[in-house]
A and B are shown apart, each in its own frame.
Chain A
Amino acid sequence: MSISNNLGGIMLKKIVYTVLEIDGDYAVVIDQNGIEKRIPMDLLPLENNDDMKIEYENPTYQITKTKTDHKKILKFCSLISKISLENGAETYRAEDLVYHTCRYYDIEKVAVLAIPTGILITLEDEETSLVRIQNRSTDLYNIEQVNSICRDLTVGKLDIDQALNKLNDLTNQKVKTLKYIFTNGFSSGFFALLFLGDFKDFILAFLCGIISQSIFTLIKKDSMYKFTSSLIGGFIVGAIAVLYSNILSVNIPDKMVLGAMMPLLPGLVMTNAIRDAVSGDLVSGTARFAEALIIALSLATGVGMIIIIFNNGNIL
């Protein structure tokens, strides 16, 4: 069967074919109207068997878009949504990243279900991946990077291998422990000053921030990290406050407690919970609300327990 006979009248039009499969010496293709044809491989500019779209313009064929392996796309999608959820992005953002990527690669049927503890992605009812998310923290740099990688991929600046390499670089970043310790200390201190504290509040809150953050870095890999960290953080804040008030026999320095509590409060989780719940991700929204509530409760328990035990419930 020769092609010129088949295409007779519409020779001058540009036709886009999609390769369905390679059958021996023939390629089975389908055009926009859904008509299947068999084209001899000799006429096609296929270098490997992975090319998806070809364009027929009298009398030559040209490749317009290269087909990428679905497995690779799936790997990219699961990695990109995993990184974005692990670093504190909203759920709908993680899903959107997958949809954008799949739209770029002309995958018609995509289903993504992302919740704060895991992601399920299915491409074309064939390939599925399930990713579990254990550690959730907040890293705005990673969120920004993931977004720009996805954007670069969908405008064609990066190919999928480069994008995958960039994502892997993101996951293998070095953690700058000292930077986190000192910025946490300073932000606690300045929050204490902002809420009308004086210099001793600044110093005490700074100490609290430094000590609690250095303990957090030790237990960061634990799966109960969020709750243990707020509990321990509360303990440290309460302990330093009680110690100070007992040694100098003065009131509990409440401005200092307030300042030191500020970085531990679940403001970030709350914000994401609201944004998720409004966007229609009800499961994620309620889950994050529960997370915020538990963090706040364990923080309050941490501070309150110390004051009950060592100060006998006396605030003065």
Chain B
Amino acid sequence: MLKEFILSFIATLFFAIFLNCPKKSIAPVCFLAAFAYIIFSFSQNIYTPVASYFISTFFIAALSEILARIFKMPATIFLIPAIIPLVPGMGIYETMINLVAQNFEIAASKATQTIVNLSAIAISIVIVLIFTKILTTIYLFLKKEYKNHMRTR
């Protein structure tokens, strides 16, 4: 557990520097990615892979929207580096290697798994985005009532 935490932290750290992340946001991004990876590997013992992808991505997406409000930066800055360790590279690799070795049945099942996992990640991001939009609209509405101006971002 600790080993996974440290390794995903360091890997995300270097990847964030590679993407030229602003210095202020590097530390929160690394912690976010490391905790999400822990949640992912822990929930894999309980739930199916699809559910664990969904849960851990939900964690990342929700927290990156919150961090974006705190640090006054776009949410993408937190979302993109933190989500990288969760991309199902293993599925893509296994699909490809089985295609090369002409094991088409295994390749097809691996490809289906990968696509389902990727869609779990996608749907999780979408749900967080919709929630954020609803909450932002409510917030703006209230603010317009009280202070009569609606420019926030």
Segment touching A, from B47-55, B83-91, B139-147: B83-91
Instruction: State which residues 101-153 of B face A: CB under 8 Å.
Output: 101-102, 118, 122, 125-126, 129-130, 151, 153
Q: Which residues of B contact A263 (CB under 8 A)?
A: 15, 18, 84
Chain A min CB distance to B108 (Å) = 15
Q: Is A12 an interface residue (CB 8 A)?
A: no
> Which residues of chain B are within 8 angstroms of A143 by Cβ–Cβ distance?
74, 76-77
B19 within 8 A of A: yes
A154:B7 contact, CB within 8 angstroms: no
Chain A, 180-205, CB within 8 A of any chain B CB = 180, 183-184, 186-187, 190-191, 193-195
Is B42 part of the contact surface with A, judged by Cβ < 8 Å?
A: no
Q: Is the interface of A mostly helix, strand, loop or mixed?
A: helix
A179 to B15, CA, bound (A): 11
Size category of the binding interface on chain B: 35 or more
Q: What interface size band does chain A fall in?
A: 35 or more
Contact B74 A89 (CB under 8 A): yes
Chain A 253-267 per-residue mask, 1 if CB under 8 angstroms from chain B, else 0: 010011001110101
B19 to chain A, nearest CB (A): 5
Which residue from chain A places its CB closest to the CB of B88 in the assembled complex?
A: A265
12 A-B residue pairs with CB within 8 Å: A89-B76, A139-B20, A141-B20, A147-B74, A193-B11, A194-B4, A261-B92, A263-B84, A267-B87, A275-B129, A300-B95, A300-B99
A interface residues, Cβ below 8 angstroms from B: 88-90, 93, 96, 100, 103, 138-145, 147-148, 151, 154, 179-180, 183-184, 186-187, 190-191, 193-195, 252, 254, 257-258, 261-263, 265, 267-268, 270-272, 274-275, 278-279, 296, 300, 303-304, 307-308, 313-315
